[in-house]
Structure 1
Amino acid sequence: MASPPSATVKPHLQDTEPSSLTRLDVDDVGDHSSDEPLYFSGPRFYLLWASLIISLFLSNIEIPIVTTSVATITDDLGGFDRASWITSAYLLGYVGVLIIWTKLSDVFGRKLLYAVSLVMFIVFSAACGAAQTLTQLIIFRAFQGVGGGGSFAICNVIGFELVPQSKYAAITAFVAFVYAISLITGPIIGGAISKSTHWRWIFLLNVPAAVPALLILLVCLPNTFPHHGKPDYGIQTFKDTFSAKNLARVDIIGVVAIWLGVLALVAGLEEAGILHDWKSAFVIAMLVVGGILIIGFFGWERYVTQRLLVTEPIFPWRFATDRVIVGLFLCALSQGMPWIGAIFQLPQKFQTVHAQSPIASGIKTIPFTGAAPIASVSTAIIAKKGVPPIYIVLFASVLQVVGFALLGTLPLSAAISRAQYGYQVIAGFGAGTNSSLLILMAPLSVKQQKDKSVAIGGFNQFRFMGGAIGLAIISTAMTGFIRPRLSSILTTSEVDLVLKSAEALSKLNERDRTEAVVVLADGYNMQFKILAGLAGLQVIGALMMWQKSQIKAT
């Protein structure tokens, strides 16, 4: 893997104490009233990047690594009809806390929150590997997602703070490359583990892999990062960190409202039409409560921003009144929907409709996941040359609509159409482009330095919230579409078996299996058509971001 781009180093920053935890030796510091960080060089810089890369890779690979192992896991633990929860539970942990972790790191420090999130990820990865029932696995996956979401969110912020703004495009391309590589290798690694050994190692291997990242963090990152070496920021003690004055900065009501609101909303969408009818009390209650909490969250953030002087809002209300920021977050929401949906559903389709092995399913989705890093790096380079990113974002948004719409027109049979590989490339190139360029535009879209971390966290929050909601929508639509059609072909018990485990298809007689495959293929086509429509929202968001003087990455 290529080394991260080197940072521009200010000449007064001496890197003679790479193991220092509390301060840096600074000669001739001058005026540091600006919020601009001091930048590292040498071994410390590269070690910190190694820690970020490990954390980003592990937290991201947990999304696709189970997609080729779902059938294996549910064959062991049962509950194929709840299989999407194996991924959705992890995403719930992500979407409920991304912006929360980011804002809390502003209050309690990047190092402390990064360490806490990594430890949480490690502990619950081990718990997932030890789960004895699908319910246990889903619960542990949710907490694993909370830790993974925290490390992902804070790593993104630290990555931007390690380099000056002139390096943002290069850093974004590099991070997007790592992100995309995790998506490419995830299904293949998951399938290989499931086939060669026990699926539990998918989660257990995170423990020895993440420990080096934690150790590097503890040794190399100053406690006061990114304010290290500045006279205005002294050594932060434990007492200072958890003092009443510092705790008063935490927006507790906002934290609870956004976390529970997203949890209720996604849970309601996930269960609707599967375990509960759309008109059931559970679904209605979850959707109503989730909607009220999210609306209440934005109302509270407006109050905190305008009226409270000490408490720092998780979502500054000035974001809601800025057309460009609103457009950015709409793009994030709608980019996550087809992106996460395709990552989960493409390999699952190869396994169920085309009877491919987990490894083969992962390999056959490489046209989608492989196009993403190529697009991320190439389009970031183009943006670095001075082309406004918004032009490329608009083009990529249209490309996604076309690609996913074409994936929704595939033949209804067990035979694999070669055309779908080309369709995957189209959709993957568009998704990969916007995955990198939109996050690049997040810190460049805000007017105040202090809003950069929240803008990055907010973007990731909306992107993965979109992914969780989009996955819930297409999973619910799929179940509602195929259940009545399968019921006209199979007995009730056979339908239940097919919904619980894809392997049940192989036990049907040839005629029933052929007809069932047609129904399933039609269901997957419907899902991709839905994803095409959701991807189209990025066009609206991009137009909202249009300005007379466009944002540039140079």
Structure 2
Amino acid sequence: MEGSSLNDVEPLSEQDVVDEALARDGQHYLAGWRLHAMTAALFLSLFIATLEVSIVSTSLVTITNALHAFGISSWIVVAYLLTYTGSLIIWAKVSDIFGRKSIICLALLVFIVFSGACGAAQSIIQLVIFRVFQGIGGSGVYSMVMVIVPEMVPKPKFAAYSSFVSMVFALSYLLGPVLGGVININGAWRWVFLLNVPCGAVALAFLLLVIPRAFPDHAVIERSKEKSPPKNMILRKLDFVGFLLLLAASVFLVTALEEAGTQYKWSSALVVILLVLAALSWLGVIGWSWFVDHKETSVEPVFTWRFLQNRVFMGALLNTIFSGVPFTVAVIEIPQRFQAVNALSPLQAGLRFLPFALSSPVGAGISSVFVSKLKVPPVVIVILGSILQTIGAALMSTLPASQIIIAENYGYQVILGFGLGLNIAGLMVLTPFVVEKRDLAVAMGAVTQFRIMGGALGLAIATNVLNTYVKSHLSASIAPQQVSTILSSAEEINVLDPAVRSTVRAIFGHGYNLQMKVLIGFGAAQIPASLLMWGNHVKMPE
């Protein structure tokens, strides 16, 4: 315009930017009270589903004391983790057929029902079975929130909403151990699960009320004239074979590692059969991926063959598995140590676990700043995180095996947690830039799925190490019947004579230190895996 200058141009407001985005993509987004109510309901659903991973960490001793099953306490966590990560992609794919609203409401309903069932369980077997189905529901909630949030707001607002999602994750992991400790003050461990029922019911009511029926196409004025493909055609794209093979491979391997050396000998028929089935299932996953990629099929694989040909992504995936081990083991075992060795209450254990719980999200935040602001290559951040994890685990393995808690304990937790935060965030930032665009959704899901799968495997190994050590060393101090009683209920330590009690707590302390030595190996293994990711072709956006 004649006579005008750049200084005369009025800057665009935030609403102008949003309106411009709406005009570009032609999508109608929610606004006002409906958007806020939907956001709150989604984040509440995500919070309670994620909270279930960490809230049981300070509750395991109380739960297993009540159900007389301390020796297999890790199954309460593993059962949820396996199904929580095992069906992420299937839920997202099915929502393309039956709609976002119906699928997230179904997933949340499954989570609520089996949370109530967990709270009513009368035996450890019942609890583990109900946790399996609770994990399936939690997986659907997690998956659908990740799908719905990007569709809920225009791209100019997505960065802010994405940060809110990260805050919900951090808050749930942070509050889990503390909240579990508060609930267990009076031994009311059932509310660890029952709490999800009223919270989930509120979230479900809001989702049913505010999500439009045809979301995200609820207000498209002019639809495409092309007919949508029949649902049976879309169902054929779902990789049920790959999903079942991956789930079977994880379940067989975790079960073998849980039972070997404790309930059964390594040479027993059950353990050998489970290991063979696990190996065959993993080979099946690889073979099926190759078949789907090289043959003309309509299936969209859960794990594409292109990943196996991508050196950088395979390095990231290996790193993800290895880092999942110390993260999950630390979240579960450190609070248990405070109770079994240091004789603290669940609440006290949760509070003394805060250094780790706080330092991990701080490390993740600093990792993002280093990459986005300082342009530090993510692979450098990942290697630094791996080194800090290794150092932190090594220091944790030197803690006194007595009831005394030294101040250095909290510093060691910070080093371990900070290193894990750096590593996890660095891998999440790197992944989108090392895979093809068509594989991005599956790649991001794989990073999450394999991290928690690695955590489940690591927890099985750590539990096996502790139980084997404790059984072999307690037999020299107390009667075999007492050994079985203590492994069924750690509370039984308190009824022993003071001298024997100190010996037993010291043996548990050495067992937990041995677990940390195992984590040293997984931390160190991340370093060569990180070197696979090194390459000049990995370019981050300016």
**TM-score (structure 1 length as normaliser):** 0.87
- 1:356 aligns to what SS in structure 2? coil
Single out whichever of 426-435 and 406-415 deviates more from structure 2. 426-435
Which residue does 2:405 correspond to in 1?
416
d(CA) in 2 for partners of 1:373 and 1:417? Answer: 24
d(CA) in 1 for partners of 2:250 and 2:16? Answer: 40
Structure 2: gaps of 5 or more residues: 1-13
Which residue does 1:58 correspond to in 2?
48
Is residue 384–residue 422 contact of structure 2 (8 Å, CA) maintained in 1? no
Aligned residues: 528
- The code of the aligned residue for 1:509 comes to D
- The code of the aligned residue for 2:57 comes to T
Is residue 7–residue 162 contact of structure 1 (8 Å, CA) maintained in 2? no
Query: Structure 1 residues 96, 443: CA separation in 2 closer, same or farther (over 3 Å shift)?
Result: same
Single out whichever of 345-354 and 58-67 deviates more from structure 2. 58-67
d(CA) in 2 for partners of 1:8 and 1:83? Answer: 55
Structure 1 residue 539 displacement after superposition: 2.2
Single out whichever of 255-264 and 210-219 deviates more from structure 2. 210-219
Which residue does 1:479 correspond to in 2?
467
The question of 1:406 aligning with 2:395 is answered: yes
Query: Structure 1 residues 472, 155: CA separation in 2 closer, same or farther (over 3 Å shift)?
Result: same
- 1:446 aligns to what SS in structure 2? coil
d(CA) in 1 for partners of 2:45 and 2:154? Answer: 22
Which residue does 1:380 correspond to in 2?
368
Is residue 212–residue 218 contact of structure 2 (8 Å, CA) maintained in 1? yes
Is residue 337–residue 468 contact of structure 1 (8 Å, CA) maintained in 2? yes
- The code of the aligned residue for 2:492 comes to A
d(CA) in 1 for partners of 2:308 and 2:94? Answer: 20
Structure 1 residue 242 displacement after superposition: 6.9
Single out whichever of 291-300 and 240-249 deviates more from structure 2. 240-249
Which residue does 1:119 correspond to in 2?
109
- The code of the aligned residue for 2:278 comes to G
CA RMSD, Structure 1 to Structure 2 (Å) = 2.9
Query: Structure 1 residues 185, 393: CA separation in 2 closer, same or farther (over 3 Å shift)?
Result: same
Structure 1 residue 180 displacement after superposition: 2.4
d(CA) in 1 for partners of 2:210 and 2:168? Answer: 21
The question of 1:144 aligning with 2:134 is answered: yes
Per-residue CA distance 1:382-423 (angstroms, 9 max, x = gap): 322133332222211111111111101111211111111000
d(CA) in 1 for partners of 2:468 and 2:391? Answer: 25
Query: Please, which of 52, 70, 73 is the counterpart of residue 80 of structure 1?
Result: 70
- The code of the aligned residue for 1:279 comes to S
Which residue does 2:336 correspond to in 1?
348
Single out whichever of 532-541 and 101-110 deviates more from structure 2. 101-110
Which residue does 1:33 correspond to in 2?
none
Which residue does 1:96 correspond to in 2?
86
Which residue does 1:18 correspond to in 2?
none
Per-residue CA distance 1:418-472 (angstroms, 9 max, x = gap): 1110000011111122233322333343222x32221121111101100100000
Which residue does 1:552 correspond to in 2?
540
Structure showing greater radius of gyration is 2
Which residue does 1:20 correspond to in 2?
none
Query: Structure 1 residues 171, 402: CA separation in 2 closer, same or farther (over 3 Å shift)?
Result: farther
- The code of the aligned residue for 1:419 comes to E
- The code of the aligned residue for 2:180 comes to G
d(CA) in 2 for partners of 1:546 and 1:79? Answer: 46
Which residue does 2:10 correspond to in 1?
none
- 2:402 aligns to what SS in structure 1? coil
d(CA) in 2 for partners of 1:390 and 1:168? Answer: 26
d(CA) in 2 for partners of 1:443 and 1:99? Answer: 17
Query: Structure 1 residues 324, 225: CA separation in 2 closer, same or farther (over 3 Å shift)?
Result: farther
Structure 1 residue 331 displacement after superposition: 1.8
Query: Structure 1 residues 365, 176: CA separation in 2 closer, same or farther (over 3 Å shift)?
Result: same
Structure 1: gaps of 5 or more residues: 1-5, 15-26, 31-36
- The code of the aligned residue for 1:400 comes to Q
Structure 1 residue 42 displacement after superposition: 5.0
Query: Please, which of 289, 300, 318 is the counterpart of residue 288 of structure 2?
Result: 300
Which residue does 1:153 correspond to in 2?
143
d(CA) in 2 for partners of 1:164 and 1:518? Answer: 57
The question of 1:363 aligning with 2:351 is answered: yes
Per-residue CA distance 1:492-529 (angstroms, 9 max, x = gap): 01111111111111111122111111211111001011
Is residue 328–residue 455 contact of structure 2 (8 Å, CA) maintained in 1? yes
Per-residue CA distance 1:355-378 (angstroms, 9 max, x = gap): 000000000000001111222223
The question of 1:287 aligning with 2:275 is answered: yes
Is residue 54–residue 213 contact of structure 1 (8 Å, CA) maintained in 2? yes
**TM-score (structure 2 length as normaliser):** 0.89
- The code of the aligned residue for 1:510 comes to P
Which residue does 1:397 correspond to in 2?
386
Query: Please, which of 6, 19, 23 is the counterpart of residue 11 of structure 1?
Result: 19
The question of 1:489 aligning with 2:477 is answered: yes
d(CA) in 2 for partners of 1:551 and 1:199? Answer: 49
- The code of the aligned residue for 1:382 comes to F
d(CA) in 2 for partners of 1:7 and 1:381? Answer: 27
- Percent identity of paired positions between Structure 1 and Structure 2: 40
Which residue does 2:490 correspond to in 1?
502
Query: Please, which of 483, 505, 516 is the counterpart of residue 528 of structure 1?
Result: 516
Query: Structure 1 residues 8, 132: CA separation in 2 closer, same or farther (over 3 Å shift)?
Result: farther
Single out whichever of 90-99 and 511-520 deviates more from structure 2. 90-99
- The code of the aligned residue for 2:110 comes to M
Is residue 434–residue 538 contact of structure 2 (8 Å, CA) maintained in 1? no
Query: Please, which of 170, 181, 199 is the counterpart of residue 189 of structure 2?
Result: 199
Is residue 89–residue 442 contact of structure 2 (8 Å, CA) maintained in 1? yes
Which residue does 2:5 correspond to in 1?
none
Which residue does 2:175 correspond to in 1?
185
d(CA) in 1 for partners of 2:226 and 2:133? Answer: 29
d(CA) in 1 for partners of 2:277 and 2:28? Answer: 45
Query: Structure 1 residues 484, 113: CA separation in 2 closer, same or farther (over 3 Å shift)?
Result: same
Query: Structure 1 residues 197, 523: CA separation in 2 closer, same or farther (over 3 Å shift)?
Result: closer
d(CA) in 1 for partners of 2:225 and 2:332? Answer: 45
Single out whichever of 112-121 and 453-462 deviates more from structure 2. 112-121
- The code of the aligned residue for 1:506 comes to N
The 5 Å alignment of 1:267-278 reads 267-278=255-266
Is residue 108–residue 138 contact of structure 2 (8 Å, CA) maintained in 1? yes
Query: Structure 1 residues 438, 223: CA separation in 2 closer, same or farther (over 3 Å shift)?
Result: farther
d(CA) in 1 for partners of 2:426 and 2:334? Answer: 24
Structure 1 residue 284 displacement after superposition: 1.3
- The code of the aligned residue for 2:118 comes to C
The question of 1:511 aligning with 2:499 is answered: yes
Query: Structure 1 residues 384, 145: CA separation in 2 closer, same or farther (over 3 Å shift)?
Result: same
Is residue 96–residue 263 contact of structure 1 (8 Å, CA) maintained in 2? no
Structure 1 residue 219 displacement after superposition: 4.5
Single out whichever of 333-342 and 273-282 deviates more from structure 2. 273-282
Structure 1 residue 549 displacement after superposition: 4.1
Which residue does 1:17 correspond to in 2?
none
d(CA) in 2 for partners of 1:133 and 1:236? Answer: 54
